[in-house]
Structures are given as structure tokens and as C-alpha cells.
Amino acid sequence: DFRLSQIAVIGQSVFGLEVYKELRKEGHTIVGVFTIPDKDGKADPLGAEAEKDGVNVFKFPRWRLKGKGIPEVVQVYKATGAELNVMPFCSQFIPMEVIDHPAHGSIIYHPSLLPRHRGASAINWTLIHGDKKGGFTVFWADDGLDTGPILLQRECDVEPDDTVNTIYKRFLFPEGVKGTVDAVRLIAAGNAPKIVQPEEGATYEGIQKKDNAKIDWNQSAQALHNWIRGNDKVPGAWAEVDGQKVTFYGSSLLDSGATAIGQPLEIPGASQPGLVTKAGLMLFGNDGKTLLVKNLQFKDGKMIAAARYFSSGSSASVELTEEEKAFAEQMRGVWKSILTNVDAIEDSTDFFKSGAASMDVVRLVEEVKLRASGCQLQNEDVYMNTTFQDFIQMCVRKLRGEDDEEELVVDYKNINNMTIRMPHQLFINGEFVDAEGGKTYKTINPTDGTAICDVSLAQASDVDRAVAAAKEAFEEGEWGKINPRDRGRLLYKLADLMEEHQEELATIESMDSGAVYTLALKTHVGMSIQTFRYFAGWCDKIQGCTIPINQARPNRNLTFTKKEPIGVCAIVIPWNYPLMMLAWKTAACLAAGNTVVLKPAQVTPLTAVKFAELAARAGFPKGVINILPGSGALVGQRLSDHPDVRKLGFTGSTEIGKHIMKSCAVSNVKKVSLELGGKSPLIIFSDCDMDKAVRMGMSAVFFNKGENCIAAGRLFVEENIHDQYVKRVVEEVKKMKIGDPLDRSTDHGPQNHKAHLDKLVEYCQTGVREGATLVCGGKQVSRPGFFFEPTIFTDVQDHMFIAIEESFGPVMILSKFKSGDVDEVLRRANATEYGLASGVFTRDISKALYVSEKLNAGTVFVNTYNKTDVAAPFGGFKQSGFGKDLGQEALNEYLKTKAVTVEY
């Protein structure tokens, strides 16, 4: 039995509370809880919980006087009969006679990897020193010097922009609770080590206090960043600016060479003036490198966005409507219920100067949500609007949708006669961040083979961070609580922003993927916008049903089903329609209420990260959408294997789809939907409309340079019109203009990337070797870039490689079939392991319906082709995968059905 029967918990705060709860869950007996006295009439969370459980709670103001234990206090403690002291978050000095008294001794939690950073400000100094590793120690308590023997340690990577708050929330708190309980488990089992702390590497810098937190500007940007984040939120790094003390919060390092437009701000002692930009306050180290600070706080406690430094006092008040006045009075009552010591809430009443604490901020945010679900507040909003008048003005602006959009730091480029914003980093938890180790790669413009920009290359740890952010957003964040109509409102807003930026998106798409600009504008971007609008309308229409069931009489049972979101979903998309494939899956995923981690194709990441910027501007809560450019072998594999991912949607090759499906099964049996390869047959009968069959046949093959999952991979033409049909399509191919995709007159742009171009050259060489007739094309265009000639093969026999395998390029594969032999051509058309799409051209309605019934494919086009719509389900049969994109059926891919039976 590895349970202890006599544990005293000595500590405080929510951390102490969680350790206490876990110890009780493990079956240990708590004989006493010793915590701090009530503050302003409020009990510490640890003490409050223990009192509810009927555990003896003691609230001594102090344990010792002049270095010696207070006899009365020590006697009360000893009377509990504790065999072990667990000190999870202990801020009081405990006398050694208490520490040494239990049979098993005393253990204490410390937020550093001892012996480094002994003392009370350990987390601060971990960040200030720029340590790459952080963590915590559970050690055998000594006389308060943090020098006792080590029992257990856990370490984590310190991220480049970690603050005390982020590293505490991400690792030190959750893992610290587990580690402390693990330490007790080791003691109970008799396996707890006592490792003497070495003196080598030991540090002690002292407690970080406000007076000591002044910024020394004669340092590198990295050192300044470390100092500011190491003091964020307490005590706060500060400097003299314009004759007053200003505290800096929310620091992040910028890429070397980052430039911005802004208003200079003189800062005494700095190597050069700061720059107030739309993104925040840009600061300069003595090495010329830069950092960005998001928020500033003045001596009176007022906090502002750093971007508003020169306009913080100039914003005009908005006049309230009668409904808004009623809301303001409701909130006045909420403030009064929180600030019980204030006689009346005036417009000038300051929330914090009137006694509010951090827990009151959480309560105020929740109270606003209850009264105005459209007002999505963050705790930061309260800190930045501390008077009642400012608070109400801020709430009203948010309700009206007039709140200033947060500007994300991205680059600008002048392309296609417009200035476009070019995000290029990972997007995790609402921020653009570098990949672990600053790893990057170059994304290539297929028009000329030159690099567009460096893009962050996600690592396994970045996947873990993104999944953790998505999980927290789903389980703990606002997204999991938002009502369906507000969810739809955000999707509509995102679609509006995409439409507002459609030319910019189309330019990025054309430059990164080689898509002709006019096609990118109409289809790549246009259908993406339609998809988000379509699924936005589904958000509040997801319904279960009631079901009559048979049970023994009296049959008083109600059974109903609920459609619920799955949780964290991973989405892996291909390179042929980078934005549209993102939209097809992500819109349904978000409409169903899930959070998402999306990996764009490594060769076409730019519209995905641009999409992330627009989603942030639309107001999606942090963590709901995460974008990770990177390799499929690393990022895609980690998403397939990750135990916290509950659904994976993939579009790509059949080979990779099989591997993903296997990984998803082995990891945690996560739900999977796959849209895989195709070799879509198009049957053209002699009774067709020839003009239409030629026009649509060209589109079926050459649309989007043939990089189209439903492209007609093989055309079967009835023999009596075969030669005429070939002659017509050759004439049309010769009219196609090959060139720069940004040129509005271009018909045919470059292939997506060089490896694919090389594959197409090899594909056509194989066709020639096998005896097919190469009518035209079949080779690379003699010009810079990855251009490939539109190609036509005839005399293709069923056994040939090009008859069986997909080219995924501008290659038309033509085969004859005997006149009138409908069943034989159907047999040949279906003689493939793929079943994504298919088509038939005939004026005979009976023949059309018969053929469409017999074709074994998820989509059948009759007298048209490529006519997909957001309302029509899309997906394949056989080795073309399973599951649907688009239409109502796509929602089911991102929902789980729960049956509930009630007896009454």
C-alpha cells in the first residue's frame, strides 16, 4: 500500500490547492492544512477547499519570531501527528523543528533546476539569464536557503518569448503539481532519493523588486528582451520616459533587419529612440537588433497598448444607445458587488485602486460574458481600461465591432501593383513565432525559381506547443463556451476579411503556387470565401434527434442524440490549391466547434499564414487556429502520432494517406478522413455536343495546369469521333498562352515546384517508351521557371503506365472505345483502384443516367466538368479515400454523436 496516512500540507494559492486535491485523490490522508490568513475577508483557495472537505485548517500569520519557532504554533502543528510535510507553495519561513519533526521529513516545491537560481525569484532569473532550459525541483526542505537534498527534478525548454506567466502556465504549474505528487508516491514506496546539491553552478541573485527592475539600456536586444520578460508581470521592468516611470510588458524579439514605420519616442539612455508602430513599441539594443513591447503601464496604474502611446488620451467617447446604457448600469452593479468597500461606482472609479485583485479580473470578464456574449473580453482588456468609464467605452466598442484590430508584425512587399503583407512565421496560440532553434527554409516562386522569402520550419516541439494551445482553447478557453451563432458570426467576419483582401490573397497564391492570377482570384480565393460563408450558416443548425426505444413497461424513457465537436483536429493539405483546400476542411472543422492545427504543404505555405493573420484580425480566440509550415515527414507524422489530436483530415497521395491512417490507428485510434489520388475517367460519346465536349474536356485536363485532384486522368472517346476530337483539342492547346501567372492574359502558368516538373518530364518519357503517340508537348518550356508544355497522348492502351497512374499535370491521355459498346467502356473506366471523380458527355439522358449509376466514383459530372460547389459533398471511393469535404456531410467528419437515455 503506497499511501501515507498522516500528511500536513503547508502552503497556499491555487498551486497548493491542486497538490492537495491530487494527494487526496491518491488516497493519502491529510491531517492538517496550514495556510496564510484571509486577505480582505477572502480565504486562500487551499484553505477554502480544505475547510469544505472537513480537514483541519490553520492560518498562522507567522511560524517563528526572531529566528525561533513560536511555541504555541509549533505545538498545534505537532498535535496533528504528521508523518510528512508537503510544502507545495510555501511563502512563510517554517522553523527547522517543524521541518525535521515528521518521520518522513519535509519536501518543498521550487520553480528552478536547483542548485541554479536558489531564492524566491527563480523563474524571473531563469528568463533574465536567457537559460535555454527551465524546470522545477522537489527537494528535502532545509532552513529556507533552498540547499536541501534533491528528491526529483523535471526540465523543459524555455521558449524564446516565454514570460513568467507562460512558462508557469505551460509547465511549472501543471507538471509541478504532478511532480510533487510523484515525489510523495516515491516516499510512500520507500524509493525517494536524497541527492546532495552540488555547489558548482549554484546561483542566488535575490528577490526581484520594483526598485531593482529598472532597465539598463546599454545591452543587446536579447538581454533587454530577457530583462523585460523576466520581470513580466511582477515586478515589471521600467524606465523613465517623458519624465515619468513607465513599465514595459509583452516583449518579443524581432527578426534581424526588421523595419517598421512609426513615430520616434526618446528614451533616456537608449542607444537610439524607440519607434511607436501599429504593432507596438519597437526598441533597439546596443547591437542594433530590435525587440517589440506590446503594453505599457504608467505610475498611476493605467495600462495602454504601446501602439497607442501618442494617442492614449485623445480617443473621443462614444455616445451610448438606450440598450448600451442599460448594459452600463448592469455593469455598475457588478462593479459594486466586487468592490464592496466602495460606496458608489462613479465614472472615475478605478478598479484596482479600489481594491480589486487578479481573481476579480477573471470574475469581471465572466460577468461581462453572461450579460453580453458578443463582447469577447480578455483579462488584459481590464488591466488596460481601469476606470469604470474607460471600461464601459471599451465594452461598447467591442459590442459594436469597432475595437481596434491588433496588428501582427509581418513584412510588406510591393507585388502585382499592390502592397501585400507577407507573414512567414509559424502561427501558434494567436501569435506569429519562430520555429524552435530559429529554423527556416526558402519558399520558391515557380515562375522564375527564385526565393520569395524565408519561412519558419516547424519542429516536433512546435507541433506539441500548437496542439497544447489548441487543446487549452477547446477545453478551457472562450471557444469551448461560445454559443453557435457567435461562432458563426466569427466565421462570417473571417469570410468578409478574406473578401476584403482577395486580391492580396490571390497574388500570394499565384506567386507561391504558380496559379494563374485570374483563376486564383475566382477559384482558389473565391471558393474559399464561399466555403467559409456556407459553413458559417451551419453553426447554429447542427442538431441531434429524439429516438423512441423499447424497454420494459412502463416505458418512461427519453433517448436523444447530441452532435458534439471532437476536440483538437489536425489538417494536412496539399500544394495544388493551398488556400481552397485549407478552407474546405477548416471551415467545417471550425463550424462544428473544434480547434485546429493545420500543416500547409511545405512548398506553398504563404496563403495559410496569411489566413492566420486574417483569422486573428477577425477575433478568433487564441489557440483556435494554429498554422505550422514544415515537412510532412516531421510535422505531419507528429500530428498523426499525437495523443491529444482526435481527428486528422488529409488531402494528398494514396501512399501517404495509407501511412497516415496506420499512424492514426496505432497512436490513439483518432478519426481520419482522406482525400487521396485519382485517375478520373471521362467518357465522351459520339452523340455529345462536340463544342462543349472539347471546351469542357480541355478544362477537365488543363484546369489549374492539370494540378487538380479531379482532373480527367484518362479520356475515353468513341471511335467514330475520336480523330475529330483529337484535332479540335490540339487546335485549342496551340492557342494557350504560357507565361507569367500574374499577367492577366496568361492561360497556363508554371508547375508548382521543380520536383513535380521533373516527375512530369519522366512521366511523358515513359509514355513514349511504352508506345503511346505523343501528339504535342511532353517537355519543359525553354524559359526560366518550372513551365511544362500542355501535352496530348493518343493510342493509349489499358496496360500502359500512363493509363494507370495519375500525372497530376497538364497531360491529356486519350483512348478509343468501340461505338455503342457502353458496358465495355464502363468496365475499362472502372478498372482502376481510384474512384474520386468521373464524367460523361452525351445528349442521351437514359445513357447519361445509366453511365452515372455504373461509374464507381464519388463525383460524376454529366455534360460538364469541374463544377464543384460548397453545398455538394466531395470525396472519393476505393483508394481515393473516404470521408467528405463540403456540404452538410462534411460537418459529420468533425462531429461525434452522443446518445443520452433518461428514465423519468
Q: Minimal CA–CA distance to 433: which of 618, 570, 628, 280?
A: 628
Question: What pLDDT score does 145 carry?
Answer: 75
Find the CATH number of the domain harbouring 338: 1.10.1200.10
pLDDT band at residue 402 under the 50/70/90 scheme: low
> Which of 400, 430, 458 lies at the terminal end of a domain, its last residue?
400
Q: Is 153 exposed, middle or buried (0-12, 13-18, 19+ CB in 10 A)?
A: middle
- Residue 697: predicted pLDDT: 97
Those residues whose C-beta lies under 8 Å from the C-beta of residue 782, and which sit 6 or more positions away, are: none
Q: How far apart are CA 655 and CA 458, in angstroms?
A: 23
Give me the domain span that covers residue 459: 414-673
Spatial distance between the Cα atoms of 365 and 361, rounded to a whole number of angstroms: 6
Q: Are 625 and 471 in contact (CB under 8 A)?
A: no
Q: Is residue 630 part of a domain?
A: yes
Annotated binding site: 92-94, 146, 573-575, 599-602, 632-637, 652-653, 759, 806-808
Whether pLDDT at 462 is above 60? yes
**893: in domain:** no
Residue 519 CB contacts under 8 Å (≥ 6 apart), including other chains: 703, 704
Closest CA to 786 of 825, 744, 741, 820: 741
Helix (H, G, I), strand (E, B), or coil: what is residue 787?
coil
Q: Are 887 and 872 in contact (CB under 8 A)?
A: yes
CB 265 within 8 A of CB 273: yes
Contact between 513 and 604 under an 8 Å Cβ cutoff? The reply is yes
When pLDDT is cut at 50, 70 and 90, the band that residue 40 belongs to is low
CATH number at residue 459: 3.40.605.10
pLDDT band at 692 (very low <50, low <70, confident <90, very high): very high
Is residue 709 flagged as an active site residue?
Answer: yes
Residue 408 has pLDDT above 50, yes or no: no
**638 shares its domain with 686:** no
DSSP state of 401: T
Across 39-57, average pLDDT: 89
Picking from 348, 366, 400, the residue at the C-terminal end of a domain is 400
Asked whether 680 and 706 are in contact (CB, 8 A), the reply is no
Residue 404 has pLDDT above 60, yes or no: no
668 and 687 part of one domain: no
Tell me what percent of the residues of the chain surpass a pLDDT of 70: 96
Which segments of 594-653 does DSSP mark as H helices, in order?
A: 606-618, 637-641
Q: Is the pLDDT of residue 287 over 50?
A: yes
Catalytic residue among 90, 375, 664, 709: 709
The CATH number that applies at residue 271 is 3.10.25.10
Domain membership flag for residue 758 = yes
Block residue for cell numbers 485523490: 25
Residue stretches of the annotated binding site for NADP(+):
573-575, 599-602, 632-637, 652-653, 759, 806-808
pLDDT band at 401 (very low <50, low <70, confident <90, very high): low
Q: Which residues are within 8 A (CB) of 500 and not within 5 positions of it... i.e. 6 or more apart?
A: none
DSSP 473-524: HHHTSGGGTS-HHHHHHHHHHHHHHHHHTHHHHHHHHHHHH---HHHIIIII
Average pLDDT over residues 485-490: 93
For residue 359, the model assigns a pLDDT of 73
- Per-residue pLDDT band for 423 (boundaries 50, 70, 90) equals confident
CA 748, 751, 752, 753 torsion-angle sign: negative
Evaluate whether 395 touches 368 at the Cβ level (below 8 Å).
Answer: yes
- Helices and strands counted in the chain (H then E): 28, 40
pLDDT number for residue 481: 84
Q: What are the two backbone dihedrals, phi and then psi, of residue 527, each rounded to the nearest 5 degrees?
A: -70, -30
Reported confidence tier of residue 405, pLDDT bands at 50, 70, 90: very low
Give strand pairing partners of 794.
Answer: 773
- Residue of 94, 90, 54 lying closest to 73 (CA atoms): 94
pLDDT band at 403 (very low <50, low <70, confident <90, very high): low
CA distance 30 to 58: 13
Mean pLDDT of 305-334: 79
Q: What is residue 233's predicted lDDT score, i.e. its pLDDT? A: 75
Same structural domain, 285 and 356: no
Instruction: Encode burial over 590-624: b for 16+ CB neighbours within 10 A, e otherwise.
Output: bbbbbbbbbbbbbbbbbbbbbbbbbbbbbbbbbbb
Query: Quick one: 568 exposed, middle or buried, by C-beta within 10 A (0-12, 13-18, 19+)?
Result: buried
Among 110, 117, 524, 756, the active-site one is 110
**Which has more pLDDT, 397 or 106?**
106
Asked if 664 and 588 sit in the same domain, the reply is yes
Backbone angles phi, psi at 403, to 5 degrees: -65, 145
> Which of 631, 647, 673 is the last residue before a domain boundary?
673
pLDDT, one tens digit per residue, over 792-831 is 999 999 999 999 999 999 999 999 999 999 999 999 999 9
**What does 640-709 look like in DSSP terms, one character per residue?**
HH-TT--EEEEES-HHHHHHHHHHHHHHH--EEEEE----EEEEE-TTS-HHHHHHHHHHHHHGGGG--T
Q: What is the mean pLDDT of residues 649-662?
A: 96
Q: How far apart are CA 208 and CA 282, in angstroms?
A: 25
* Inter-residue contact 840 to 822 (CB < 8 Å): no
Half-sphere exposure of 655 (CA within 13 A, CB side): 4
Residue 379 has pLDDT above 80, yes or no: no
Residue from 675, 707, 718, 789 carrying the catalytic annotation: 675
The average pLDDT across 247-254 equals: 90
Which contacts qualify for 200-203: CB closer than 8 Å, 24 or more apart?
A: 200/115, 201/115, 201/116, 202/115, 202/116, 202/118, 203/115, 203/116, 203/117, 203/118, 203/125
Q: Which amino acid is at 311?
A: S
Q: Is the model's pLDDT at 3 over the cut of 80?
A: no
Q: Does 584 share its domain with 485?
A: yes
Q: Does the annotation count 28 as an active-site position?
A: no
Residue 256 CA to residue 897 CA, distance in Å, equals 50
DSSP line for 274-335: EEEETTEEEEE-TTS-EEEEEEEEETTS-EEEGGGGGGTTTPPPPPPPHHHHHHHHHHHHHH
Q: How many CB atoms lie within 10 A of CB 99?
A: 22
Condensed to tens digits (0 to 9), the pLDDT of residues 261-275 reads 678 999 999 989 999
Residue 900 in any domain: the answer is no
**What CATH number does the domain containing 735 carry?**
3.40.309.10
Is the Cβ–Cβ distance between 721 and 819 less than 8 Å? no
Q: pLDDT-based confidence at 407, cuts 50/70/90?
A: very low
The residue that leads in pLDDT, 39 or 655, is 655
| Percent of the chain with pLDDT strictly greater than 90 | 74
- On whether both 60 and 163 belong to a single domain, the answer is yes
HEC string for 27-93: CCCEEEEECCCCECCECCHHHHHHHHCCCCEECCCCCEECCEECHHHHHHHHCCCCCEEEECCCCCC
pLDDT of residue 316: 55
pLDDT of 384 above 80: no
User: How many domains does one find in the chain?
Assistant: 5
Per-range mean pLDDT, top range of 162-176, 295-309, 703-717? 703-717
Statement to judge: residues 634 and 713 lie in one domain: no
pLDDT at 411 over 70: no
Strand partners, 247: 238, 297
565 preceded by cis ω (within 30°)?
Answer: no
In a domain? residue 816: yes
* Cβ proximity of 125 and 171 under 8 Å: no
pLDDT at 358 over 90: no
Is residue 260 very low, low, confident or very high in pLDDT (cuts 50, 70, 90)? Answer: low
Tell me how many degrees the CA angle 41-45-49 measures, rounded to the nearest 5: 110
> Could you write out the DSSP letters of every residue in 542-576?
----EE----SSS--EEEEEEEEE-SEEEEE--SS
Per-residue confidence band for 505, with pLDDT thresholds at 50, 70 and 90: very high
Half-sphere exposure for 7 (CA within 13 Å, toward CB): 26
Q: Has residue 207 been placed in a domain?
A: no
Determine the 3-state secondary structure of 107 from DSSP.
strand
Give the least confident one: 124-133, 346-355, 551-560, 659-668.
551-560
**What is the mean pLDDT of the segment spanning 888-895?**
97
Mean pLDDT score, 741-760: 96
Q: Which of 655, 595, 600 is nearest to 620 (CA)?
A: 595
For residue 140, is it within any domain? Answer: yes
Residues 871, 759 share a domain? yes
Q: Does 42 score more than 80 pLDDT?
A: no
Whose cell is 478551457? That residue is 476
Binding-site sequence positions for (6R)-10-formyltetrahydrofolate: 92-94, 146
The predicted pLDDT at position 312 comes to 56
The whole-number average pLDDT for the span 402-409 is: 47
718 and 801 belong to one structural domain: yes
C-alpha distances (whole Å) from 429 to each of 306, 486, 659 are 21, 20, 29
Are 424 and 384 within one domain? Answer: no
Determine whether 764 is an active site residue.
Answer: no
Which helix (H) or strand (E) segment is 188 a member of? helix 174-189
pLDDT in tens, 563-597: 999 999 999 999 999 999 999 999 999 999 999 99
pLDDT at residue 414, rounded to an integer: 59
- On whether residue 882 sits in a domain, the answer given is no
Name the β-bridge partners of 146.
Answer: none
Of the pLDDT bands very low, low, confident and very high (cuts 50, 70, 90), residue 751 is very high
Backbone angles phi, psi at 849, to 5 degrees: -70, -40
Give the closest residue to 753 by CA, choosing from 672, 809, 711: 809
pLDDT band at 552 (very low <50, low <70, confident <90, very high): low
Give yes or no: residues 507 and 558 share one domain.
yes
Mean pLDDT score across all residues of the chain:
91
User: What does DSSP say about strands 791-794 and 811-817: parallel, antiparallel, or unpaired?
Assistant: parallel
In the block, cell 532519493 appears at 193
**Residue 193: Cβ-neighbour burial (10 angstroms; 0-12, 13-18, 19+):** exposed
- In whole angstroms, give the CA distance from residue 712 to residue 718: 16
Residues 6+ apart with CB under 8 A from 199: 115
The rounded distance, in Å, linking the Cα atoms of 257 and 255 is 6
Both 686 and 663 in a single domain?
Answer: no
**In which band, very low, low, confident or very high, does the pLDDT at 277 lie, cut at 50, 70 and 90?**
confident
Q: Which carries the bigger pLDDT value, residue 357 or residue 859?
A: 859
